[in-house]
Amino acid sequence: MSTGTIEDDLRTEVSGMISLDVLPFIKTEKVSGTEVREQILMASRLPAIVAFTSVVAVETVFSMLNGRTTGWQIFCIGHATRRSVEQRFGRECISGTAENARELARLMISAKIDRVIFFCGDQRRNDLPDQLGQSHIDVEEIVVYRTVLTPQEVRKKYDGILFFSPSAVKSFFQKNQLKDQTVLFAIGTTTAMEIAKYSLNKVVVSEEPEKQVLLKQVRTYFESGNNAASQLTNESQRAQNSQDEQNEK
């Protein structure tokens, strides 16, 4: 079972031998009102340095710009978020990327910037703004979307459950407990660490914070007869050794 949406083209990664149910446990909502839109439009008139750590933030800001171009220098985390930035703002706008928010903060500090606009969700983690603040970098946070938990009881028993954000983990465990044999799959270390707060079950952490990569690991795990020792360990060990896409959700 996946606790987040899986696009149809990605389902082919597990089709054939694995039956995959999708039951989303969170949803995102764009912040409504004129205040946020005006903040974004005002920022678009400036040669600002901005930061993104989620695809949702990129897509929300782009939609609110309504076709207006910007002269932004953009720092973002890699993989899906970077691809979204490239598609919406152009590759030439990207000043730096990193694997996660902590590394992104270090990159921005080394770039000796003075001020940054951080477009984020209401459940964003503290890593980026805290590290930048400690280095006396002025961070203007603009919350452009909200994450809403949608907990529901799951009565069907599953061999594996996929999690793509810490918020989905919180939502799931509000109404569910697991049998010991259920294997949990996490998109990255932040999500794995959240799982560890609720469960001692085995966790497989994605080698990269990408849905496609995680789905391939799900297939490999079950094709190998649940013997994926090189990928599987307890959640605290994996959390120390892997990298996470900061999903703010």
Q: What pLDDT shows up at residue 137?
A: 97
Domain boundaries, the chain: 8-25+151-241, 29-147
Closest CA to 104 of 124, 74, 149: 74
Q: What pLDDT shows up at residue 33?
A: 83
CATH of the domain spanning 8-25+151-241, picked from 3.40.50.300, 3.40.50.10090, 3.40.605.10, 3.40.190.10: 3.40.50.10090
Residue 158 CA to residue 172 CA, distance in Å, equals 14
Q: Say yes or no to pLDDT of 230 above 50.
A: no
HSE-up (13 A, CA, CB side) for residue 138: 5
Q: Say yes or no to pLDDT of 234 above 70.
A: no
Helix axes 101-110, 127-134, angle to 10 degrees: 30
Q: Say yes or no to pLDDT of 246 above 70.
A: no
Same fold flag, 8-25+151-241 and 29-147: yes
Residue 57 CA to residue 125 CA, distance in Å, equals 14
Q: What pLDDT shows up at residue 15?
A: 78
CATH 3.10.180.10 for domain 29-147, yes or no, is no
Rounded to two decimals, the pTM is 0.82
Lowest mean pLDDT among 10-19, 50-59, 150-159: 10-19
239 pLDDT tier (thresholds 50, 70, 90): very low
Lowest mean pLDDT among 9-23, 82-96, 114-128, 138-152: 9-23
Identity of the amino acid at 50:
V
pLDDT (tens digit per residue) in 96-150: 999 889 999 999 999 999 999 999 999 998 999 999 999 999 999 999 999 999 9
